[in-house]
Amino acid sequence: MAVMEANDQNTVRAVLGGDPEAYRELVVRHSGMLLRVAQRITGNAADADEVVQEALMRGFRKLGTFQAEAGFGSWIYRIGVNCAYDLLARRKRDAGYLDSGTDEDGGALQIAEPGAGPERLLLSGEMRARQELAMGSLTALERTAFVMRHMEERSTAEIGEALEIGPNAAKQAVFRAVQKLRQRLAPLREAR
Amino acid sequence: MRHLTTEELVELYYGEAAEELAGHAAGCLECASALAGLREDLAGLAPDGAVEDGAGERMWEKLRPRIVGGPRVVRVRWASWVGRIGVGLAAAVILGLAFYAGHVWERGRKTPTVAVDGRKTPAVTQVGPGSPVEAKDEAPEEPAKAGRRGAGTEQRAVIVVVLADQLDRSEQLLVELNHPDDAAEDGGLVRTARQLLAENRLYQRRGQNEDPAVARALKDLEPVLTAVAAERKGMSEAAIAELEKKLNTDNVLFEVRVLRSRVAHGTAGAAKRGDA
């Protein structure tokens, strides 16, 4: 990790020294991590790709303000999370104009009886669909905070820092997300 | 014995709970079972999002034309500070001059108020940020009295229509505040509040001689809009609940609704008078 950070710092110096081609190294090194978190937050690959392009461009433009001691990886990660959050919020707002934003099925999902063979497969497919639906019901803030906490294993302080909110607000966002998810996944729990 | 709250269980699950909570969960059958339930529910939401090999190279291919084509890297150097201070001073002087010129221009534009229906109405009004609407007939001569009355009525109709729109949007915002839902945290509420706040202040400044009920409603709206606009991103349900309690948004909503209905009638009346 320390070697990578030292490499990053050398690369940043090269870019700032007037060699934009050097930015390629940073893009190649950190795109994977950015794509992963962006896909988890936005929920799809196309949006994730857009987010990562935006984050890396923003990083390039703001490279002069980058504080070396923070580590380029953490810095660009925060930018990526912010871009993903912004895009998700925008998508949710746009979707809000098209529908009322209510949970269409109201929890009335038909769960197949868990048995062997095809029924089990059907249940697993329904579980995935239900999980996606449940994740989709979260607000942009809740989803971003939950992904960072549950899937990215980031601390509350890191979530707060990335989303520019206080640690308590970050903790509350995670808590609300967990509550909503459990509520929406309750039919699956009963079917198990 | 106090059992762990759901919030404490979530903290415990993510390893952020105090040690005594963990100790309690270890010794309490009920809390241990609740924690196991939580673990089981969340286990299904396993991390995903595998990234294909070569994703970084592909990303660079997409970005390269934008980066190498014309990079604008901001560099901060101590040596350039003198230049920066010079630029800053020049900008300040330009701003000062622009402000003074605007002030002088605005003073020159101010025209005497026109008496309409026994009430003084400014001859120039503002219908929205940056879009001044001027009364067409400002002639103070006696023979033009009827014309003045017509122009004043038109102007008032414009104000009423714009105010009705402002009240509509304020009502929507207050309804959202009183019924916080999922959309409340995406920042849209904050942006709307900022816009409404700017307009609200404009109306308050412009409408000093207007209906006292309008003035009161706009004044009551101000702290609510200020509080929402001051949020950095979205508002949590807890923050909204706090705001509701502190500023009694229910009452403000009622006041706005009453006023909106009055203003809507006023629009019809003003339009009718304008036609006649």
**pLDDT per position as a tens digit, B92-131:** 888 888 888 887 777 766 544 444 444 444 444 444 444 4
Q: How far apart are CA A157 and CA A166, in angstroms?
A: 8
Spatial CA neighbour of A172 closest among A190, A151, A145: A145
B254 confidence band (pLDDT: 50, 70, 90): confident
What distance in Å separates the CA atoms of residue B197 and residue B218, rounded to the nearest whole number?
Answer: 10
- pLDDT tens digit string along A144-158? 999 999 999 999 999
Alpha helices in B110-187 (DSSP H): 145-178
Residue B114: its pLDDT value, please?
Answer: 42
B43: alpha, beta or left? (left if phi > 0; alpha if psi -120 to 50): alpha
**Looking at this protein, which amino acid is placed at residue A44?**
N
Cβ-Cβ contacts under 8 Å, A28 against chain B: 56-57, 59-60
Question: Which residue of B42, B62, B63 is the best one to mutate when testing the A interface, meaning the one whose CB has the most A CBs within 10 A?
Answer: B63
CB contact under 8 A, A185 and B55: no
The share of chain B scoring above pLDDT 90, in percent, equals 5
Contact between A31 and B44 under an 8 Å Cβ cutoff? The reply is no
Strands (E), A81-126: none
Residue B250 has pLDDT above 90, yes or no: no
Please tell me the pTM assigned to this model.
Answer: 0.52
Task: pLDDT tens for chain A, 192 residues: list them.
Answer: 567 777 888 999 999 999 999 999 999 999 999 999 999 999 889 999 999 999 999 999 999 888 777 789 999 999 999 999 999 999 888 876 554 434 444 433 344 444 445 555 556 677 778 888 889 999 999 999 999 999 999 999 999 999 999 999 999 999 999 999 998 888 766 665
Residue that wins the pLDDT comparison between B142 and A187: A187
Rg over alpha carbons for chain A, rounded to the nearest Å, is 20
Average pLDDT over residues B130-140: 40
pLDDT in the model for residue A62:
92
A101, A179, A185: residue with CB nearest B6: A179
Strands B124-126 and B132-134: antiparallel
Res B240: pLDDT: 74
Residues of A in contact with B238 (CB under 8 A): 172
ipTM of the complex: 0.81
CA dihedral A49, A50, A56, A57 (to 10 degrees): 150
More confident residue, B39 or A102: B39
Higher pLDDT: B86 or B148? It is: B86
SS3 (DSSP) at B121? strand
Residue of A31, A149, A172 lying closest to B238 (CB–CB) = A172
